[in-house]
Amino acid sequence: MRGRSITFWLIFGGVLFAALAINSFYGLLLTDHDPFLAIIIGINSAIYFFGIAEKKSDVRKRYSHLLVGSFFAYVLSIYQVLVVFSVWLEGLLISSCLLTIEALNLPLIISGFAISFLFDFAKKQIETNNF
Amino acid sequence: MENHRDGIESRESTIALLGNPNVGKTSIFNALTGSRQIVANWPGVTVEKRAGVMKHHNHTVDVIDLPGTYTLGATSLDEKIARDFLVNEKPGVAMVIGDAVNLERSLYLLLQVLELRGDVVLAVNAVDEARKAGFEIDRNELSKQLGIPVVVTSAVTGEGIEELKNTLVKSTKSGSHVHYLFSDEVEAHLRDLSERIRGNPSLAGIDERWLSIKLLERDDEVQKITGITLDYDFSVEIAETRYKYIKRILSTSVKGKEKIGWNFSEAIDHVLTHRFLGILIFLAVMYIIFQLTFTISGPLSIMIEELLGGLGRALGGLIGIDWLRSLVVEGIIGGVGAVLVFVPNIFILFLALGILEETGYLPRAAFVIDRIMYAMKLSGRSFISMLLGFGCNVSSIMSTRSISEPKERIVTILVSPFISCSARLPVYVLIAGTFFGARAGVVIFFLYVLSIVITVLSALLINKLFFKGEPSTLIMELPRYRKPRLSSIILYTWNKGRHFLEKAGTIILGASVVIWVLSYFPSEGTGSFAAMIGKSLEPLFIPLGYTWEMITSLVFGIAAKEVIVSSLTTFFGNPSVTGTSLGVIRTLITPEVALSFLVFVLLYVPCMPTLAVIKNETGSYKYVFFSVFYSLAVAYIVALIVRLVGGLL
Amino acid sequence: MVVPLSRMCEGEKGKIRKLELPPLTRERLCGLGFVSGEEIQLVKVAPFGDPKVFRIKGTDITLREDISMWILVETSSVPLSYATNGEYFVSIINGGMGFRERLRMVGVEVGKKINVTGNIGKRIEINANGIRSALSRGQAMRIIVRER
């Protein structure tokens, strides 16, 4: 992966999660209004953006931001799935459905799983190349 | 440890495991013993002792996991335990587990063991990681140079474990050899000292050269048992000689060039310990853990509640005798149930902590917030323990096991009760909801902030009181990241969770019965012993303005703070889901008294399971008494201030 | 030059010279590889400036200033704010264009010689390219100099 590609993916990740953060903060599209979660998603976005702040020549540092950012996104997706599952289970127990489509925050779950592929890729790059 | 199998006391069939922390010693121990292990405490101290049994090819051997140490000096408790075991118990085999990626450091410990005795086996672990990093260990060459069996293993892939077991059951007796000589001057001293030691019959069982070396290193323990103290100190030279020898061995036994550039761990660390992102990521991780704990334990707690409720009804229907039924249903099931409902909470928190520890992230988290903790004379590691306190104080105190500095550990243990645990929350919700309606949230937030403030101030005060205000030392290793193994995490969570259940469960059971007796006899409710206690204490609480019902519930709250809720509802109203049925209480006390009551609940005496764990982890009743009186004093004073200030507003 | 470990530059390597610490601490560090002549590298600095992560014998160890300032190392680079009087080369300037420009005006540039004539109190007096000036500690922290 050349330098320019990394920059692309860093910007992509940063913007995507910034959007998801704003989405969660205001509860815009397919998601509930959850300011705290929004902050956490924002932190994920920051991981990518700080990667861009690294010197262009420092490839390994940029890769590491990609690596951790993607893993974190993956963790967020799993977190969301677990939370949703618990809410559903609780609803089951008190015999009233507590879930709404918005509570799922599908945009977060899908994005997280999608971008986690970058994690495997970045990991391979770091292990096979001698930066 | 005795070999009971043929009735003969035989230390020969004991293998002791030694190694630096973080080399995978526990994984090897698990691989050798499987699930046949017990976890206890080393006698008289609060350090974990893991013992197990290895069965291999008709051999049955005891395996004991000594604490991880870097040297066999006596500078820390862990080292003392490891060394004492080797010297006093003389296990048949001493196996040192080394790290293939950091062999130099591992060999330093090995050499110290070799100075002491023979029958040593070296297991070089994580050899798969070494290969990935670009080097290969020539175990035959290593074995030749050291004169002991060397096995390369990988606890992760399972490589070498079988061979290791074979090597361990083969009995080859060998005495200790001398592998390297120090300078002429040092050797001369060693000869002199050995002479003097030889004449002392009480030191007969211990290698005299080892004792002499330790004397030249000015080792306190050895100076004491030999009665010899020297004015010269050769510790620096001795250490350098050992390292020189190690470098020589490694030059012939380790092949390949280390890959330049970053490995996986370094790459991750760049972000996780980043100047700006480090703390943000830490906060995010903490948020995720706490949110998950509360959300997942929600339905699980409900399930437990239903189960217990059903059990209560079933048993209630079966028992004809009134008081017995009440004892079983309300006393035992109700009381113990109050704590059982928290079990999912606790287990999940320990699971999260276990994952953080297994992956290696914990030291990084401690590193990132250390500076803030330093102001409290504590370290980053304490912060993690304290965070657990928001779930349950018992778990936070139990988790202080891994804080290596004893002073810091005790301060952390003593301030933990001021961290607002989840058991207090129902009380807050009930009272705040009744008195402050929509503003209840603000009140509860205030309580949490107060909790943190008092915790911080207490940390400083207690440190000054007991330890002259000296901050602890921080020398912390950041181990490589590793993929957490499911089995290790489950084992870890289970061990810690079970410990919690045992401690909390037994105490609560006893306490529940006592509380039940006090509130049932001579006549339930206002005629009970409990009410009498409450009424008799009323004069003490006049400045605070609490009614006897409130005081009584506080007394019961000592068993477990959530019991306060059930006590209050018993006295004041019919139990209802929203809790506003306590409306009658609004006629009895004013809002500022209610607020002061909440503050009192937050700060006063730690609940009994917490007290039990404090005794357990500090090893003395002194701290338990201190905890009780200090917290009572703080609670009373602050609650009083709140009431008076509140009255003015 | 010999400086306390706490004054090394991020990423720089040095050789341990001496451990001026109480015996108990020294022994603990010894087991971790902190002996005379051993190479040590400053890997990372925590968000608030302390503690720091050092790499020694392949392991990363965290130390606070209360220990690291008593370990003396021999290293070739140091932030200007810790430089004693003498002649050095400027090797790195951590800063933006504006900062570099202001420094260039007083003769401080990467690769050029710089003479430290006084290092007391709040200012460091230098003589670079014939121009005498004094820099604040904050500025000097961002200039890394190398011995000749």
* Shared-domain flag, residues B221 and B125: no
Last residue of a domain, one of B239, B255, B271: B255
Q: B237 and B186 in contact (C-beta within 8 Å)? A: yes
Longest Cα–Cα distance of chain A, Å, equals 58
Does position B649 have pLDDT exceeding 80, yes or no?
no
pLDDT at B9 over 50: no
| Residue B418 near residue B454 (C-beta atoms within 8 A) | yes
Q: Flag the least confident range among B1-10, B314-323, B406-415, B615-624.
A: B1-10
> Is position B571 within any domain?
yes
Q: Is the pLDDT of residue B5 over 70?
A: no
Q: Kindly provide the residue ranges of all beta strands, DSSP E only, lying in B164-282, ordered along the sequence.
A: 254-255
In terms of domains, do B133 and B195 share one?
no
Query: What pLDDT score was predicted for residue C48?
Result: 84
Tell me how far CA of residue B403 lies from CA of B71, B322, B383, in angstroms.
18, 50, 11
Of B466, B496, B510, B500, the C-alpha closest to B613 is B500
Q: What angle do CA C116, C118, C122 make, to 5 degrees?
A: 115
In this prediction, residues B577-582 reach a mean pLDDT of 46
Residue type, B145: Q
Is the confidence at residue B579, as pLDDT, over 50? no
Continuous segment of H or E residues that includes residue A8: helix A3-26
Question: Which of B275, B280, B364 should we substitute to test contact with A (largest number of A Cβ atoms within 10 Å)?
Answer: B280
Are chains C and B in touch, 3+ Cβ pairs below 8 Å?
Answer: yes
User: Which chains sit next to A, with 3 or more Cβ pairs under 8 A?
Assistant: B
What was the pLDDT predicted at A46? 95
pLDDT digits (tens, 9 = 90+) for C113-128: 999 988 888 888 999 8
For chain C, the chains sharing at least 3 beta-carbon pairs closer than 8 angstroms are B
Q: Are B55 and B157 within one domain?
A: yes
Convert the pLDDT of each residue in C79-102 to its tens digit. 998 888 889 999 988 888 899 999
Q: Mind listing the pLDDT tens digit for each residue in C13-50? A: 999 999 998 888 888 898 888 998 999 999 999 988 88
Query: Is B423's pLDDT higher than 90?
Result: no
Q: Please state, in angstroms and rounded to a whole number, the distance separating the CA atoms of residues B17 and B38.
A: 15
Going by their DSSP bridges, the two strands B14-19 and B93-99 should be labelled as parallel
pLDDT tens track for B57-96: 888 889 999 999 998 987 788 888 999 999 988 888 999 9
Domains of chain A: which residue ranges?
Answer: 3-124
Nearest to B403 by CA among B466, B359, B357: B357
pLDDT, tens only, A88-120: 888 888 887 777 877 788 888 888 888 888 788
Query: Looking at CA atoms only, how far is residue C92 from chain B in angstroms?
Result: 19
SS3 of A44, please?
A: helix
Q: What pLDDT digit, counting tens, does each position of B220-273 carry? A: 888 888 888 888 888 888 999 999 999 999 999 888 877 766 778 888 999 999
Look at B232-241, B373-382, B564-573 and tell me which has the smallest mean pLDDT.
B564-573
User: What are the DSSP calls for B546-583, one per residue?
Assistant: --HHHHHHHHHHTT-TTHHHHHHHHHHS---SSSGGGG
In angstroms, the separation between the Cα of residue A34 and the nearest Cα of chain B is: 12
pLDDT digits (tens, 9 = 90+) for A30-45: 888 888 899 999 999 9
Q: Which residues of A touch B272 (CB under 8 A)?
A: 68
Among A96-100, B187-191, B554-558, the least confident range? A96-100
Q: What is the pLDDT of residue B47?
A: 78
Which residues in B103-257 belong to E strands, given as ranges? 120-125, 136-137, 150-152, 254-255
Decide if B102 touches C, using CB distance below 8 A.
yes
Regarding whether B153 and B16 lie in a shared domain, the answer is: yes
- Would you call B255 helix, strand, or coil by DSSP? strand
Nearest chain B CA: its distance from C64 CA (Å): 6
Confidence of residue B358 (pLDDT cuts 50, 70, 90): confident
Closest chain C residue by Cα to residue B107: C31
The pLDDT of residue B604 is above 50: yes
Write phi, then psi, for A99 (nearest 5 degrees): -95, 145
Which residue type is seen at C98? Answer: G
Closest chain A residue to the Cα of B284, Cα to Cα:
A40
Other CB atoms within 10 Å distance of the CB of residue B231 = 5
Kindly tell me whether chain B and chain A come into contact, counting contact as 3+ Cβ pairs under 8 Å: yes
- What pLDDT is attached to residue B413? 94
Q: Say if CB A61 and CB A51 are below 8 A apart.
A: yes
Contacts of B273 in chain C (CB under 8 A): 44, 46, 53
Contact A92, A100 (CB under 8 A): no
Q: Can you give the residue range of the structural domain that contains B149?
A: 11-169
Chain B residues closer than 8 Å to A46 by CB: 276-277, 280
**pLDDT higher than threshold 90 for residue B293:** no
Question: Which structure tokens are listed for B108?
Answer: 């330093």
Distance, CA of C144 to chain centre: 7
Cβ contact C–A (≥3 pairs, < 8 Å): no
Residue of C nearest to B108 (CA): C31
Q: Which two tokens stand for residue B359?
A: 């992956």
Residue position matching structure tokens 């929509």: B438
Read off the CATH number of the domain in which B146 is found: 3.40.50.300
Average pLDDT over every residue of B482-499: 82
* CATH number of the domain within which B249 lies: 1.10.287.1770
**Per-residue pLDDT, B4:** 40
Distance in angstroms (rounded) separating the CA atoms of residues C104 and C124 = 16
* Structure token digits, residue A90: 């609780």
Q: Which residues pair with residue B171 across a beta bridge?
A: none
Residue B597's Cβ-count burial label (10 Å; 0-12, 13-18, 19+) is buried
Confirm whether B642 is domain-assigned.
Answer: yes
Half-sphere exposure of A88 (CA within 13 A, CB side): 10
Among the partner residues B218, B473, B474, nearest to C23 by beta-carbon distance: B218
Number of domains in chain B: 3
Predicted confidence (pLDDT) per residue in B471-482, tens digit: 778 888 999 898
* B620-633 pLDDT per residue, tens: 899 999 999 999 99
- pLDDT at residue A131 greater than cutoff 70: no
DSSP designation for B257 = P
Using CB atoms, which residue from B272, B284, B306 is nearest to A40? B284
Whether residue B302 is contained in a domain is answered as: no
**CA distances from residue B575 to B407, B521, B565 in whole angstroms, order as listed:** 45, 21, 10
Per-residue model confidence (pLDDT) at position B153: 93
What pLDDT score was predicted for residue B7?
Answer: 35
**Residues on chain B touching C30 (C-beta within 8 angstroms):** 71, 235-236, 239
Residues B153 and B15 grouped into a single domain: yes
Q: Which is more confidently placed, B581 or C124?
A: C124
Residue B520, pLDDT above cutoff 80:
no
pLDDT at B375 (0 to 100): 83
The Cα B393–Cα B349 span in angstroms is 12
Note whether B165 and B198 are same-domain residues.
no
Q: What is the pLDDT of residue B2?
A: 38
Task: Output DSSP code: residue C85.
Answer: S
The pLDDT of residue B577 is: 40
Output the furthest CA–CA distance in chain C (Å, rounded): 50
For chain C, which residues lie within 8 Å of any Cβ of chain B, measuring from their own Cβ? Answer: 23-33, 35-38, 44-51, 53, 57-64, 66-67
Q: Which of B261, B274, B291 sits opposite A130 (nearest CB)?
A: B261
Nearest by Cα to B170 from B106, B121, B113: B121
Q: Which of B102, B236, B474 sits opposite C36 (nearest CB)?
A: B236
Q: Closest residue of C to B218, CA-based?
A: C23
Distance between C12 CA and the closest CA of chain B, angstroms: 15
Q: Is C132 helix (H, G, I), strand (E, B) or coil?
A: strand
Interface test with A, best of B268, B288, B302, B307 (most A CBs within 10 A): B288
Distance from CA of B363 to the nearest CA of C (A): 9
pLDDT of residue B199: 83
Token readout for C34 is: 């902190």
Phi then psi dihedrals of residue C132, to 5 deg: -90, 130
Chain B residues in contact with C60 by the CB 8 A cut-off are: 269, 477-478
Least Cα separation, residue A51 to chain B (angstroms): 9
User: Are domains C2-75 and C78-147 of this chain identical in fold?
Assistant: yes
Residue position matching structure tokens 């080369």? C89
C-alpha angle B74-B80-B81 in degrees, rounded to nearest 5: 170
Tens digit of each residue's pLDDT (9 = 90 or more) over B126-149: 999 888 888 899 999 999 999 899
What's the gap in Å between the CA of B474 and the closest CA on chain C?
Answer: 6
Q: Side-chain half-sphere of B247: how many Cα atoms within 13 Å?
A: 10
Nearest CA-CA distance, residue A86 and chain B, Å: 5
Give the pLDDT confidence score for residue B8 in this predicted structure.
35
Q: Which of B210, B235, B255 is the last residue of a domain?
A: B255
Does B398 have pLDDT greater than 80? yes
Q: Which residue has the tokens 């010197």?
A: A55
Q: Is residue B601 part of a domain?
A: yes
β C123-128/C59-63 pair status? unpaired
Q: Which residues of B touch C69 (CB under 8 A)?
A: none
Q: Kindly state the DSSP code that residue C95 receives in the 8-state scheme.
A: S
Interatomic CA distance for residues B596 and B523, integer angstroms: 31
Q: Clarify whether residues B98 and B121 are in a common domain.
A: yes
Confidence of residue B578 (pLDDT cuts 50, 70, 90): very low
Domain shared by B69 and B198, yes or no: no
Predicted-assembly ipTM surpassing the 0.90 threshold: yes
* A124: pLDDT strictly greater than 60: yes
Tokens 């969301």 locate to A80
Q: What is the DSSP letter of C3?
A: E
Cβ pairs bridging A and B (under 8 Å): 85
Domain range annotation of chain C: 2-75, 78-147
Interface test with B, best of C25, C43, C44 (most B CBs within 10 A): C44
Residue B545, token pair as written in the block: 């303005």
Question: Are A83 and B303 within 8 A, CB to CB?
Answer: no
Helix/strand/coil for B122: strand
Contact B276 A50 (CB under 8 A): yes
Task: Give the pLDDT mean for C118-146.
Answer: 88
Say if residue A1's pLDDT is above 70: no
> CA-to-CA distance for C100 and C122, rounded, in angstroms?
21
Taking domain C78-147, whether its CATH number is 2.30.30.90 is answered by yes
Q: Which of B584-593, B603-612, C1-10, C74-83 has the lowest mean pLDDT?
A: B584-593
Spatial separation of the C-alpha atoms in residues C20 and B216, rounded to whole Å: 19
Q: For C2-75, which CATH superfamily applies?
A: Ferrous iron transport protein A (FeoA) (2.30.30.90)
Q: Which residues of A touch B (CB under 8 A)?
A: 36, 40, 43-44, 46-47, 50, 60-61, 63-65, 67-69, 72, 75-76, 79, 82-83, 86-87, 89-90, 92-94, 123, 126-127, 129-131
Rounded-to-integer distance, Cα B170 and Cα A30, Å: 66
The C-alpha R_g of chain A, in whole angstroms, comes to 17
Among all chains, which residue has been given the structure tokens 């070089």? B124
pLDDT of residue B523: 72
The residue that leads in pLDDT, B621 or B204, is: B621
- Provide, rounded to the nearest whole percent, the portion of chain B with pLDDT above 70: 94
Tell me: the pLDDT tens digits for B388-397?
Answer: 888 888 888 9
